[in-house]
Amino acid sequence: MRRVPDTATRIRIASDGKSIDTSDAEFVINPYEEYALEQAVQLKEKHGGEVTVVTLGPEKTTQVIMKALALGADKAIHLKSDKVPDDPGSIAKALANELKGVELDILFFGKKGVDDDNQQVGQMVAELLEIPCITQVVKLDVSDGKGVAHREVEGGSITVETTLPAAFTAEKDLTVPRYASLRELVAARKKPIMVKDIQLPPSSLEIVSVQYPPPHPPGRIVGKGVDAVPVLVKLLHEEAKVI
């Protein structure tokens, strides 16, 4: 589970020119991990078992861990690190090191973090653990030690079957996350959180600069009504080159 700035947060570049200033940011559970968590809880309710949330981040990550526990997770493992690496490979190695030797049936990830859009960690962890991985899942059926996953692709869908244990990365259409009640928020305080100080694996990626996107050029009004259509088509063809 990844802790990310709320998507409504106004992003500011830090003074070093290489990172984002998060001092005023509101942090939430990565939305794609909310879909994954809800699917995990639904499978637990149907088949039994236990849901454990694993997350990497600073002390303040406890806030989103408590939210995950209120949403149905049974316990959490907090890999405590003052800094979350920019390198998805480093994150994947840290998670895989924690999960090696752990007996599990299904490993869920969101398809990507909404902060960096890397869309790599789930696949990397699965590769390091030597288990199958199916990405961008919109529907999942589990029975008899197998998982049947449905993925949407351009113009259709793909159905993939795999044996368990396996990893799946969640697309937004997989489930509809539930809301935590006040009672569940209170009960979450009694659920176990294992905190581990970790040494992050070396990073192979370095961010050298962060820049704001260029401002959008001003719009143009080419006319009104049907008389403007030929002019618009000509501009789209000759200037914008989109048709």
Cα 38 from Cα 108, distance rounded (Å): 10
Report the pLDDT value the prediction gives residue 179, as an integer from 0 to 100: 93
Scanning the structure block, which residue is given the tokens 């984002």? 20
Q: Which residues of the chain have pLDDT under 50?
A: none
Dihedral (Cα; 1, 59, 124, 36), 10-degree rounding:
0
Report the pLDDT value the prediction gives residue 175, as an integer from 0 to 100: 94
Report the pLDDT value the prediction gives residue 39, as an integer from 0 to 100: 97
Report the pLDDT value the prediction gives residue 159, as an integer from 0 to 100: 96
Report the pLDDT value the prediction gives residue 196, as an integer from 0 to 100: 95
Report the pLDDT value the prediction gives residue 51, as an integer from 0 to 100: 97
Report the pLDDT value the prediction gives residue 183, as an integer from 0 to 100: 93
Domain boundaries, the chain: 3-197
Report the pLDDT value the prediction gives residue 224, as an integer from 0 to 100: 87
Q: Which residues of 49-69 are buried (b: 16+ CB within 10 A; e: fewer)?
A: eebbbbbbbeeebbebbbbbb
Dihedral (Cα; 5, 8, 9, 13), 10-degree rounding:
100
Q: Is the peptide bond before 230 cis (omega within 30 degrees of 0)?
A: no
What's the N-to-C CA distance of the chain in angstroms? 42
Report the pLDDT value the prediction gives residue 23, as an integer from 0 to 100: 83
Q: Which fold does the domain 3-197 belong to in CATH?
A: Rossmann fold (3.40.50)
Instruction: Report CA torsion sign: 91, 119, 105, 39.
Output: positive
Q: Are 192 and 75 in contact (CB under 8 A)?
A: yes
Give 175-206 pLDDT, tens digit per residue: 999 999 999 999 999 999 999 999 898 888 88
Cα 90 from Cα 121, distance rounded (Å): 9
